[in-house]
Amino acid sequence: MSTPAKPQAQRRLAAGSQVTLAHGSGGKAMRELIQELFVDTFDNPLLAPLEDQARVALDELVAAGSRLAMTTDSYVITPLFFPGGDIGKLAVAGTVNDLAVGGARPLYLSCGMIIEEGMAIDELRRIVASMQATASAAGVRIVTGDTKVVPRGGADRLFINTTGIGVIPHGVDVRADAARAGDVVLINGFIGDHGAAVVDARGELALDSGVESDCRPLAGLIDAMLRACSGIRCMRDATRGGVATVLNEFAQASGCGIVLDEPALPVRDAVRGVCEILGLDPLYLANEGKVVAVVPADAADGVLAAMRAHPDGRDACAIGSVRAAPAGRLSMATRFGGERVMDMLVGDQLPRIC
């Protein structure tokens, strides 16, 4: 016998309406906003009681591993919607990925929203639905949150903070300071797509690259990688600062050198074109669906095969290697036979990118 469909709640927030200061007042209007947009959409038993905290059974956490992982991030991207994603998808995927690259299995998220008075309810509803779709795809639940409304001019339409909790399984110890000479550097696909897509979406430069953001949760891919090799040394998602910044951090923390192979770097022609027009370097462009991993040489082929077998890693490739010296330095072996230093940038090439 089939389970009867859950009745659709009556909508009190009319299409075409806007967020008002009353929606952040703590009264009836706020209750309606939270119930209709957040509770009904995120729809899980940990959130439904609307307590001031989510209450999680400890045995569920202990069964998943030996250590708790926790991260938090805030999202202030402009524009809110871009090819391949939106601020809601970004807020879930970014926090899920920050947990996963530490070897954790992501489980729970919080959602804090700072909404500017006058934001369209329909846009907010679309963003919340995107958050839930992304959370479902990642296997996590949004279990608690907070909503604030600020007067016009007090924010740029919408800021989102998400905090994530996950559990690290026994035997997994992924750290930024674990790279060793001889290790191989892997990435799961093309570099710089998110940065190029957001530049396009801003519409300030009359570009039309057709590039979509790579924004997505990577927990499933990373789980496959760890099943292929539980001894992966380092992992990080290459967001602000891009691949070059991540690898500089690995080199400095590990006290070793890392060298990239320029011909091996996967960059779309459209992204390369945007970079050439604007004087940018794709290695420093933000990504929102790319994991950079350092793995022992004898495990590289197996991890690479596992990545390519997963939908989020079909274009995975090896892009460099670790060496003993010069310690703390990232460099690139160019296609012309030379080598150049890839230092960390003083600031970001593109602000408000995530």
Which residues form the domain of 144?
21-168
Do 316 and 217 lie in one domain? The reply is yes
Instruction: Write the pLDDT tens digit of every residue in 156-187.
Output: 999 999 999 999 999 999 999 999 999 999 99
Residue whose tokens read 């979406």:
201
**Residues 209 and 72 both lie in one domain:** no
Helix H or strand E segment including 113: strand 105-116
Same domain, 245 and 162: no
pLDDT of residue 66: 87
CATH number at residue 143: 3.30.1330.10
Evaluate whether 187 touches 243 at the Cβ level (below 8 Å): yes
Tokens 């077998």: give the residue: 309
Q: Are residues 211 and 282 in the same domain?
A: yes
Contacts 24+ apart (CB under 8 A), 7-13: 9/35, 9/36, 9/40, 11/36, 12/36, 13/37, 13/121, 13/125
142 sits in the region (left: phi over 0; alpha: psi -120 to 50; else beta) called beta
Quote the number of domains for the chain.
2
Amino acid identity of residue 206, one-letter, is A
Residues 59, 162: one domain?
A: yes
Sheet holding 317-323, edge to edge: 234-237, 291-295, 184-187, 317-323, 257-261, 330-333, 339-341
pLDDT interval class at 307 (50, 70, 90): very high
pTM (2 decimals)? 0.94
For residues 128-137, average pLDDT? 98
3-class secondary-structure state, position 248: helix
Per-residue pLDDT tens over the stretch 188-228? 999 999 999 999 898 877 677 789 999 999 999 999 999 99
The last residue of one of the domains, among 111, 133, 168, is 168
What is the three-class DSSP state of 160? strand
CB 243 within 8 A of CB 292: yes
**Same-domain check for residues 269 and 190:** yes
Q: Which residues of 175-190 are buried (b: 16+ CB within 10 A; e: fewer)?
A: ebebbbeebbbbbbbb
> Residue 11 — pLDDT band, cuts 50, 70, 90?
low
- What gap in Å lies between CA 211 and CA 202, rounded to an integer? 13
Beta-bridge partners for 114: 148, 159
262, 333 contact by CB (below 8 A) = yes
CATH of the domain at 254: 3.90.650.10
In a domain, 137, yes or no: yes
